[in-house]
Structure 1
């Protein structure tokens, strides 16, 4: 499972100008992110890392300044909130990708060892690794991979196999990646070569 062969086009995908967070770090943020860049978003707990990602994803409103996003965005947090926990894996995928047939989606789920009963159980009853598989299918089943992928500690509560699956899925992603994580090994595996630290002092 991969996020496609999208090329790093170098276009401006994110422009933050004197952005003020409603919660967390008080310093305004100015930043330009280009297509194909891979960013580690670091800072102490409460510094506003998740808030910033939600602003970029359009789920929260900035307190001041400007946030410009150019291209499609996908936000994936540690709770996989793009999924409805009351719906089954199959129903979630049909809701998110109505252009895909149910048989095709079931085949994709089976390819990740989510068969029959597992594919029909409410997502909220699945393990963290199983929910990750459904969430990654939700992202990779789109006709085009997102231009900007926001990951908010998605490696939390995952077993080793699930983490490796996530790392492999992101290995060839050519779009823009912004990741919140405190795990140095995970950060290294994703080859994050840019870093933004919120607040002071901060930890990665």
Structure 2
């Protein structure tokens, strides 16, 4: 399977995120016993690890700018990111498979090219009019990757939240191949050590 991900426009090594003594409070209770100090630079592949409830998703939302730290600071450069969460909220459940793919056609690809790319991700003709709400988790993951491959420019950062949960071996293989063609920055929340090794994770951020 050839994914045809474009490269990120950012040069490798550009500082994207800097956290300095950062923390987040829920009901006046600081989430992390020790404050967070780290940098994320363009081109890195980072695994975010920690037990359930350790604040992994909160950290992601802070990195994306959706949440502001209650203590310390997080500075963000200007970059484009895509967050593929466990609910595949990137997918519009009210759309069909074909219309979902078409929404990412910012480069004006003709209809037959969209259908060719859907076929590459195992969405043959009988899938094109199928409602996205009826897709399995693995199918939604493949459609999300297909949508990103159709877009004119790849995001500077892709964030995956437990991406191999509920995926069979075939879909994990497809996901691995797609991610290994991507040349931007990758953040992954995962306990799947084999998957993390296969996608070439550079380092870890461990919470808790």
TMscore range, shorter length: 0.7 to 0.9
Pair 1:97 & 2:97 matched = no
Which stretches in structure 1 are left out of the alignment for 5+ residues?
200-204
Partner of 2:13: 10
Q: 1:102 to 1:182 in 2, by over 3 A?
A: same
- How far does the alpha carbon of each residue in 1:75-124 deviate from its partner, in whole angstroms, 9 at most, with x for none? 11222111112211222222333544444322211232212331221212
The number of residue pairs the alignment matches comes to 199
Q: 1:50, CA displacement in angstroms?
A: 1.4
1:152 to 153, 161, 164: 161
User: Where do 5+ consecutive residues of structure 2 fail to align?
Assistant: none
Q: Contact (CA 8 Å) 1:39, 1:194: kept in 2 or not?
A: yes
Contact 2:104 2:148 in 1 (8 A): no
SS at match of 1:120: coil
Distance in 2, Cα, partners of 1:4 & 1:99: 12
Matched, 1:66 2:69: no
Q: Distance in 2 between matches of 1:90 and 1:116?
A: 10
Equivalents in 1 of 2:124, 2:52: separation in Å? 38
TM-score (norm 1): 0.86
Q: Closer, same or farther in 2 for the Cα pair 1:144/1:130, shift >3 Å? A: same
